[in-house]
Amino acid sequence: MSFPLYFSRKIALSKDNKNNLSRVIIFIGRLSVALGIIVSLITVSTGFGSKKAIKERLADFSGHITIKSTRSNSSYNTSVLDNNGLELNKIKELPDVLQSVQKYAMVTGIMRNEHNFAGVIFKGVGKDFDSLRFKKFLIAGTTPKITEQGYNNGVTISQKVANDLHLKVKDSIVTIFSKTDQKPVYRKFEVVGIYKTDIKMIDDQFVIGDINQVRKIQDMKPNEAGGIDIFLDNVNDIDAVFPDVEQLIGYKNYAEKATEKYPQITDWISIFDTNIALIIVIMLIVVVINIIMVLLILIIERTNSIGLLKTLGASNAQIRATFINYTLIIMVPGLLCGNLIGIGLLLLQKFLGIIRLNPENYYVSTVPVDLNPVAIISISLGILLISGLALIIPSYLISKISPVKAIKYN
């Protein structure tokens, strides 16, 4: 063991601290480190957790990647998907792509009853619809049991639409679909389920029903679809898989990422990165300033020891290393306490959902938490490393101390 590390451990673990000022300064230093760790952990875990939760909600509702006809453009009334060049089997074989690939077709309409009316987007799904994935959004009832044999009149509507029209499960509702140069088409549906995603753009509009209903309204042939939803293992793999999907869809179709469907949400999510970086930088500055203050107080307090070490032949570099190690060792209790408190608070939020949010503003009803071990370890090591580097320049004060004057210093 090197002399600086050995000696710094001896004085750091020593109980001989008669100076009350140094005790207070050390406590403040440890407190600042603990608070810095707590705030950084909460910021990173909730920030990344919110980004991940919102992306997953978008993807779980409408697929991580969606294939549409170029004729659909931005219209919610989907055009028939072109099968030339569309190689679904090869898409399913791509890494990270699940077998849960489902077709759909959409048409806009108006739900109306004696209470109110609501403009809706009727999303017709087939027998390949992943009802288990959708189950997390259900607050009542279920999803329609689609067999694509005949026409299923069951629909799953959002809680927003249900509240606006005073509907509940097993109620009936008339929906009007308009067709170009033709009379409106009327359909009577039974509400079999009510869902809530907390994403306003989805909850305000989408109704889940039978794809055959859309085919009939849109004059589509059996087995034709307006689009295909592709699901991946991880929402963070979208950017990596997307270029491979684009190569397998044909030139008359186009692919769209879940994160691109609602640009206003994507722009809002991107703000998290800036906020996270800003808060961490501020906390680092506070921690570093406090740790430098601790080092300077310790140098002043132990001026006699510095003079004695120089008299015994210790170099300035060895003494500087000793005091830097001493200060970093003092930080360790703050690091441990900060991690214990921060992780404890995050676990409480993760499992109990104590802090709730307004989903109309934040797209989630509770603060999401992403406890990433790599991020947790990186925060602690990063603060320790940056603090150690920041102490190098102030430690040069030691080289200005004269051994003779230091020994006489009282």
For residue 291 the two structure tokens come to 């740790």
Closest by alpha carbon to 362, among 21, 31, 43, 49? Answer: 49
Nearest Cα neighbor of 177 from 114, 116, 106, 125 is 106
pLDDT of res. 12: 60
Taking residues 116-140, report their average pLDDT: 93
Residue 248 confidence (pLDDT): 93
Residue 1: what pLDDT?
Answer: 54
Return the ∠ at Cα 117 (arms to 177 and 227), rounded to 5°.
Answer: 40
DSSP per-residue string spanning 43-102:
HHHHHHHHHHHHHHHHHHHH-SEEEEETTTTT-SSPPPPP-TTB-HHHHHTSTTEEEEEE
Return the pLDDT at 296: 83
Place of tokens 């690939």: 101
Q: Residues 391-399: what's their mean pLDDT?
A: 79
Per-residue DSSP letter, 147: -
pTM across the whole model? 0.82
Strands 182-195 and 154-158: parallel
What average pLDDT does range 288-311 have in this prediction? 79
What pLDDT score does 39 carry? 94
Q: Which of 12-26, 106-120, 232-246, 354-368 has the lowest mean pLDDT?
A: 12-26
pLDDT at 153: 94
How high is the pLDDT of residue 3?
61
Q: Who has greater pLDDT, 240 or 299?
A: 240
pLDDT value at position 399? 67
Q: What is the pLDDT of residue 403?
A: 65
**Mean pLDDT computed over 367-389:** 91
- Inform me whether the pLDDT recorded for 180 exceeds 90: no
Mean of the pLDDT values across residues 167-177?
94
Res. 359: pLDDT tops 60: yes
Share of the chain above pLDDT 90, in %: 49
Has residue 23 got a pLDDT over 90? no
CA 332 to chain centre: 29
Between 299 and 111, where is the model more confident? 111
Helix (H, G, I), strand (E, B) or coil at 110: strand
Secondary structure (3-state) at 191:
strand
Average pLDDT, the chain: 86
Residue 263, phi then psi, degrees to nearest 5: -60, -30
* 222, 215 contact by CB (below 8 A): yes
Instruction: Tell me what the mean pLDDT of segment 365-378 comes to.
Output: 92
pLDDT of residue 16: 56
Task: Tell me, rounded to whole angstroms, the distance of Cα 338 from its chain centroid.
Answer: 22
